[in-house]
Amino acid sequence: MHLIADIAATHIRGRGRQTFLSIAGVAMGVGFSIMMASLMQGSQEDFIDTLIDTIPHIAIEDEERHPPVQPASMTFDAVKIEGLRPREKLRGIRNADGIIASLESWLPGDVAPNLTGQAVIRYAGKDLSVTVVGIDVDAERLVSTIDDDMREGSLDDLNTTANGLVVGDGVLDRLGAKVGDLVTVTSPVGVVRKFKIVGSFHTGAVANDNGLGYTLLKTAQVIQDKANVVNRIRIRLDDVNASTPIAARLESQFGYKAESWEEANEGLMEAFLIRNIIMFTVVAAILIVAGFGIFNIISQITHEKAHDIAIMKSLGFPESDIIRIFVIEGLAIGAAGSLLGCVFGFALCQALGQVEFEFAATTEVTRLPLMYSVWHYAIASGFALGSAAVAGWLPARNAARLNPVDIIRGAA
Amino acid sequence: MTDGTPLLEARGVTRILPGIVPVTLVENISIVFGHGEFVSITGPSGSGKSSLLYLLGLLDVPTTGEVFINGVSTAELNKTERAETRLKTIGFVFQFHFLLPEFSALDNVMLPMRKLGLRDAVEMRESAAGLLSALGLEEHLHKRPDQLSGGQRQRVAVARALANDPPLILADEPTGSLDSRSTEQVFHILKKIVDNEGRTVIAVTHEMDFAAATERRIHLVDGRVAQDEAQSPASAMRGGGPEALGSHAQS
């Protein structure tokens, strides 16, 4: 064995219990860090999965990012034109059929047209304002999970019932209606129609459950008085992570605002970033504390081995050798602790994965969301090794500076 | 070895410990040591004999003046270079053995060899075993320091000082903590190193018997050389050890 490593090994071997405690300290730090990272990232992934299941990956809206330039501004080279009245435009995505046909030809995913508008549902003297979304049942199934959230009836009933309406279960509760009842729907443009409630859904998102209804696209176009108009195209991609670049491409191609789920949930992404920063801070703190254990044992060794250090220096070992001895000791403890910690962390994750929860609202059994990633193990071990090296180096540097003469004199 | 260049030379060496009240350890010492000399340095406590030895052994740096080894000044060497010089040319023996407690006698002797790294493991093992056997320790090669007696430990320390075949051995009270029988043994070993192997041994001692038996005696008082007398080789030869020369122990 190499001389320096040989000497380092004798120091560690001579103090089994203390070494074991330091290793255990590092192992606990690494283990808990891994567990925490796994849980934090797992819950984040789980949340995002749930989130992007309920919303489109990309939504093309009948809006533009910037107000359109008025023809007058293009004609006259003026600084400012006052008193212009903007041209009234029929809202909606122009040539929606063309856009959808184009998207279906190349986009890796599914596309569904919507017409979203407000309406008031009246039943038994109660009024309730809801958002009514006109959908193409077969296309909508591919881009949203609404089919899975159906409580009563099904989306197919929309196709078989004239003026059928599917609403959230909260809407039914608030109206006091039930599936099969007839309700009156009044649109902002004054169209009034009788609708039959053919189904209800429960998504878990209160805003949707208490204020959303689905009907056929054609029916929605009638009550909103917008024949053949689509004001929203929902896209579900095969690869969620490609949504931002694809959204940018769609926007430049069609001129309409195309919003990716990441953009729509910018605040949430920021929250996740902050959560991750907190997590890494705590992980770092745990491992630094573990580093103190190493610092403690190494500085104790350097004190006890002052005579050895003095004699080695007088024999002709340079300071760098002395430092190396103790850094190797720190690293050895750190490495053993990391290895043990990885096993411990994996075991903790496995144990947590066994824990089952039952929510009162749903009867399904939920497990803790855990994410397994080699990175968690690599980062925790790397950090532990780094802090171990520093914890060894600090006392080693002081020990190496000792003047052998002082110690030899002191012993005499 | 005998090209006229002295092995070790101190030229105007002064060492002052800085502080609120600076302490002068040794003052303006100039001495020359050749090859194959057996020198003792004596003096009362605080006369600077150990300090001088550390300066000669490059463990300490003079405030002014220079130490030359083989005619080369060591003033410009940095810490690492001084360490390397010690490794190759100087062997130390201290009052306490300072053996690494976890290492066997053999491993302790091999320590400087392994650091120098010029020979392979088998050669180093043989060489270390040879050194220990020559000092009468062939039975104790694999014992750890705590399994050896004080005299045996000190002999291991001498073997370790000889590990890299240095021309210069510096000893600080090498028999200071030994009984008279062990003292005699260690003295004979040191003498043999000088007489048979042509090395120079410089030993700090407060034992007059020991000093009297050496060929050259340097007496320090208050950090200065008070006396530097060479005994005639004949009388040194006649004396075999400190006990035999007890009557001459006056310097």
pLDDT tens-digit readout, B63-120 = 999 999 988 888 888 888 988 999 989 999 888 878 888 889 999 999 899 888 888 8
For residue B100, give how far its alpha carbon lies from the nearest alpha carbon of chain A (Å): 6
Same domain assignment for residues A141 and A182: yes
Same domain assignment for residues A235 and A287: no
- pLDDT on residue B71: 86
Q: In angstroms, rounded to a whole number, what is the distance separating the alpha carbons of residues B234 and B232?
A: 5
- pLDDT on residue A192: 92
Q: In angstroms, rounded to a whole number, what is the distance separating the alpha carbons of residues A318 and B82?
A: 9
- B59 inside 8 A of chain A by CB: yes
Same domain assignment for residues A166 and A308: no
Q: In angstroms, rounded to a whole number, what is the distance separating the alpha carbons of residues A57 and A236?
A: 5
The whole domain housing A190 covers 90-260
SS3 B40: strand
Closest CA to B27 of B64, B70, B2, B60: B64
Domain boundaries, chain B: 8-248
Q: Are A59 and A243 in contact (CB under 8 A)?
A: no
For residue B176, give how far its alpha carbon lies from the nearest alpha carbon of chain A (Å): 9
Contacts of A412 in chain B (CB under 8 A): 50, 94-96, 172-173, 176
For residue A328, give how far its alpha carbon lies from the nearest alpha carbon of chain B (Å): 17
If pLDDT is split at 50, 70 and 90, which confidence band does A121 have? very high
- B61 inside 8 A of chain A by CB: no
Is residue A13 classed exposed, middle or buried when 0-12, 13-18 and 19+ CB atoms within 10 A define those classes? exposed
Query: Given the DSSP bridges, would you call strands B224-230 and B64-69 parallel, antiparallel or unpaired?
Result: unpaired
C-alpha dihedral (A128, A132, A138, A143), degrees to nearest 10: -100
Query: Is position A62 within any domain?
Result: no
Same domain assignment for residues A396 and A253: no
Query: Is position A117 within any domain?
Result: yes
In the block, which residue shows the tokens 């034992």?
B207
Instruction: Write out pLDDT tens, residues A223-238.
Output: 998 888 898 999 988 8
Query: Is position A83 within any domain?
Result: no
Q: Are A213 and A135 in contact (CB under 8 A)?
A: no
Dig out the tokens for B157 from the structure: 């320390």
Residue B151's region, left for phi above 0, alpha for psi from -120 to 50, else beta, is alpha
Q: How many domains does chain A have?
A: 2
Closest CA to A236 of A261, A269, A262: A261
- The rounded percent of chain A whose pLDDT value lies above 90 is 28
Closest CA to A317 of B61, B65, B92, B12: B92
Q: Are residues A405 and B54, on separate chains, in Cβ contact within 8 Å?
A: yes
Query: What ipTM does the predicted assembly reach?
Result: 0.81
Q: Are residues A318 and B80, on separate chains, in Cβ contact within 8 Å?
A: yes
- pLDDT on residue A136: 92
Query: Is position A15 within any domain?
Result: yes
Closest CA to B93 of B206, B173, B213: B173
**Which residue in chain A is spatially nearest to B117 when comparing CA positions?**
A3
Query: Is position A70 within any domain?
Result: no
If pLDDT is split at 50, 70 and 90, which confidence band does A359 have? low
Dig out the tokens for A357 from the structure: 């929860």
**Sign of the dihedral through C-alpha B223, B227, B233, B237:** negative
Nearest CB partner across the interface for B115, out of A3, A11, A319: A3
- A-interface mutation test, from B17, B103, B111, most A Cβ less than 10 A away: B111
For residue B74, give how far its alpha carbon lies from the nearest alpha carbon of chain A (Å): 15
**Which residue in chain B is spatially nearest to A320 when comparing CA positions?**
B80
Query: Is position A286 within any domain?
Result: yes
Dig out the tokens for A150 from the structure: 């159906």
Residue A363 has pLDDT above 70, yes or no: no
Closest CA to A184 of A123, A119, A116, A117: A123
Q: Are A171 and A207 in contact (CB under 8 A)?
A: no
- A-interface mutation test, from B53, B60, B100, most A Cβ less than 10 A away: B100
CA B110 to chain centre: 18
Q: How many residues in total does chain B contain?
A: 251
Question: For B3-8, what is the mean pLDDT?
Answer: 80
Instruction: Write out pLDDT tens, residues B208-241.
Output: 888 888 889 999 998 888 888 876 544 444 444 4
**Which residue in chain A is spatially nearest to B83 when comparing CA positions?**
A316
Q: Are B94 and A408 in contact (CB under 8 A)?
A: yes
Of A236, A260, A284, which residue constitutes the final position of a domain? A260
Residue A382 has pLDDT above 70, yes or no: yes
Q: For residue A56, give the H/E element and its range.
A: none
Q: Are residues A13 and B102, on separate chains, in Cβ contact within 8 Å?
A: yes
Of A224, A239, A260, which residue constitutes the final position of a domain? A260
A280 to A271, A284, A359: CA distances (angstroms): 14, 6, 30
Dig out the tokens for A360 from the structure: 């009162």
CATH of domain B8-248: 3.40.50.300
- B84 inside 8 A of chain A by CB: yes
Ordered alpha helix ranges (H), A71-205: 71-75, 96-106, 137-143, 146-149, 156-160, 169-175
Is residue A224 classed exposed, middle or buried when 0-12, 13-18 and 19+ CB atoms within 10 A define those classes? buried
Contacts of B92 in chain A (CB under 8 A): 314-315
Q: Are residues A10 and B103, on separate chains, in Cβ contact within 8 Å?
A: yes
- B50 inside 8 A of chain A by CB: yes
- B166 inside 8 A of chain A by CB: no
Dig out the tokens for A197 from the structure: 């409630």
In the block, which residue shows the tokens 């949930």?
A265
Ordered alpha helix ranges (H), A233-358: 243-254, 261-264, 266-304, 306-315, 319-354
In the block, which residue shows the tokens 């083989």?
B70
For residue B229, give how far its alpha carbon lies from the nearest alpha carbon of chain A (Å): 27
Residue B243 has pLDDT above 50, yes or no: no
Contacts of B52 in chain A (CB under 8 A): none
**Which residue in chain A is spatially nearest to B54 when comparing CA positions?**
A405
Question: For A380-404, what is the mean pLDDT?
Answer: 87
Of A260, A283, A306, which residue constitutes the final position of a domain? A260
Closest CA to B96 of A311, A147, A101, A98: A311
Question: For A158-165, what is the mean pLDDT?
Answer: 91
C-alpha dihedral (B182, B186, B56, B70), degrees to nearest 10: -170
Question: For A305-315, what is the mean pLDDT?
Answer: 86
**Sign of the dihedral through C-alpha A183, A187, A188, A191:** negative
B99 to A14, A15, A225: CA distances (angstroms): 16, 19, 100
Q: In angstroms, rounded to a whole number, what is the distance separating the alpha carbons of residues A271 and A266?
A: 9
Q: Are residues A14 and B102, on separate chains, in Cβ contact within 8 Å?
A: yes
Q: Are residues A3 and B102, on separate chains, in Cβ contact within 8 Å?
A: no
Query: Is position A339 within any domain?
Result: yes
Ordered alpha helix ranges (H), A190-241: 206-211, 217-223
Instruction: Write out pLDDT tens, residues A242-255.
Output: 888 888 888 888 88
Q: Are residues A3 and B59, on separate chains, in Cβ contact within 8 Å?
A: no
Would you give the DSSP letter of residue A129?
Answer: E
Question: For A326-349, what is the mean pLDDT?
Answer: 92
**Which residue in chain B is spatially nearest to A314 when comparing CA positions?**
B59
Same domain assignment for residues A184 and A232: yes
If pLDDT is split at 50, 70 and 90, which confidence band does A8 have? confident
Query: Is position A277 within any domain?
Result: yes
Ordered alpha helix ranges (H), chain B: 49-56, 79-89, 105-116, 121-134, 150-161, 180-197, 208-212, 233-238
Q: For residue A22, give the H/E element and its range.
A: helix A16-54
Nearest CB partner across the interface for B59, out of A13, A319, A405: A405
Average pLDDT, chain A: 86
**Which residue in chain B is spatially nearest to A3 when comparing CA positions?**
B114
